[in-house]
Amino acid sequence: MMEDRNQGLWFHPPAKQPNQINPVVLAYLGDAVFEMMVRQYLIAQPNHKSNHLHRLATGFVSAKAQCALLERWQPLLTEQEADIVRRGRNAKSGAPPKNANLADYRQATALECLVGYLYYEKQTERLRELMAVAFDEPAAAIGKFEEDNR
């Protein structure tokens, strides 16, 4: 039996439908997916010094940066995506790290929950569109998304 070579990185499907997974669990996955996408973006840039890459990455993955990014994403979200964000923000995820306040931490958890959800739903184009906002890339893909959802 030949394996499906188009499965991407989905080696192990979740035990539940993505909308039934605990938001904190989606955020756990979303944290890793978000960081991987940030690292891929940074490695695509000209400067590959590890200390420089690390400094740039923390500018994207900190709770404060993710909170600010989620504010930029809010007007672009579908109703379903906004619901996933609300679930993530309201989830009890423990105490924030010492360098983040609770409000920023909850918003960062919400962003990561959405990223984890979109990943498990295999909505890679949608992730790419939202990450284009994070990287301030030309908004052609986002304009297409808005056109499709009018």
Handedness of CA 61, 145, 128, 83 (dihedral sign): positive
List Cβ neighbours of 23 (8 Å cut-off, separation of 6 or more): 84, 87, 88, 90, 91, 109, 113
- The string of DSSP codes covering 79-119 is HHHHHHHHHHHHS---PPPTTS-HHHHHHHHHHHHHHHHHH
Catalytic-residue membership of 83: no
Cβ atoms 91, 22 nearer than 8 A: yes
Residue appearing with tokens 């979740």: 14
Q: Which of 31, 104, 136, 148 is catalytic?
A: 31
End-to-end CA distance of the chain: 43
Give me the half-sphere count of Cα atoms (radius 13 Å) on the Cβ side of residue 121: 19
Q: Which residues are catalytic?
A: 31
